[in-house]
Structure 1
């Protein structure tokens, strides 16, 4: 969903009167304690729902009640639906931390190799996320680790890296 980010998922009914248990897929659930609304994905569309109450629990879970949802029958229609928020609601990151969507189009400057290309996207694999970079029509995959990502310069739209020796050259052969 362009312009939105995935916040979490509706897990199940909670008690009576339409309350729902949700899971917030975030490192910082405390950033979302004062939400007034969320977008619920239903049939491929994002539908706004206004929040009446939101009570955080453990393990990034929370109990939510939505305005105009006042029965378990109505609430059960929302189980397993994904929750989204506009990208403008993401808290800013600093240092070498970045949102994956944020770095698309950034240049990569490697300490050893030099200009390593432009980031096309971030790919998420089960054990590792990587920058998919294009250089002269060739694809280069650079792991996202604290040892490799040295600096994220949002002003110049550049990421400075220290890729393992020979990694970038391997893709260019």
Structure 2
């Protein structure tokens, strides 16, 4: 399985006990969704390695305390600290029709209320305080904040996102 077929779940941030337990910092708004997993994929040397989970439960809200099969010592757990944890995309919970995961909307056309089709979403920049749609319009990059007030309609079936952008925002990129 490749990273493209997976989503980032979190990072192993520490060991918990001398019995090989680890703490996974979950990157989710609903950590309780991930307490009953059978296995996860851990990134080692750019490969995703499956690990089966013996037991897990939430520890201090967004930390998942997990015991993996065959990780039985503090030293084994120490080797895992700092690694990223993934799950297959098929394990993502179903979202309502008006919500989306970032990976789902890559390739969607963006229709602006004033300018019409302003291009295709090529990626999402979530490294800033406000996530941004990165849109390609004939080789020009357009950045639009992913703000609920700007998103008018999401049409997954036709791969469209209709937006109402602040006056002048799109013009900054097109002129």
Deviation at 1:117, TM superposition (A): 1.1
Residue 29 (structure 2) aligned to one of 27, 30, 45: 27
Deviation at 1:36, TM superposition (A): 0.3
User: Which residue is equivalent to 1:64?
Assistant: 66
User: Which residue is equivalent to 2:47?
Assistant: 45
Q: TM-score, normalised by structure 2?
A: 0.93
Residue 158 (structure 1) aligned to one of 157, 160, 171: 160
2:24–2:64 contact (8 Å) kept in structure 1: yes
Give the number of aligned pairs: 173
Deviation at 1:79, TM superposition (A): 0.9
1:115-140 C-alpha deviation (Å, 9 max, x unpaired): 11111111123211111111222211
Show the 5 A alignment for 1:140-151.
Answer: 140-151=142-153
- Could you tell me which runs of 5 or more consecutive residues in structure 2 were left unpaired when the two chains were aligned: none
Deviation at 1:95, TM superposition (A): 4.5
1:95–1:151 contact (8 Å) kept in structure 2: no
Q: TM-score, normalised by structure 1?
A: 0.94
| Separation in structure 2 between the aligned mates of residue 97 and residue 41 of structure 1, nearest angstrom | 28
Change (3 A) 1:14 1:125: closer
1:87-132 C-alpha deviation (Å, 9 max, x unpaired): 1111122244321111110011111221111111111232111111
- Could you tell me which runs of 5 or more consecutive residues in structure 1 were left unpaired when the two chains were aligned: none
Show the 5 A alignment for 1:86-165.
Answer: 86-165=88-167
| Separation in structure 1 between the aligned mates of residue 12 and residue 138 of structure 2, nearest angstrom | 44
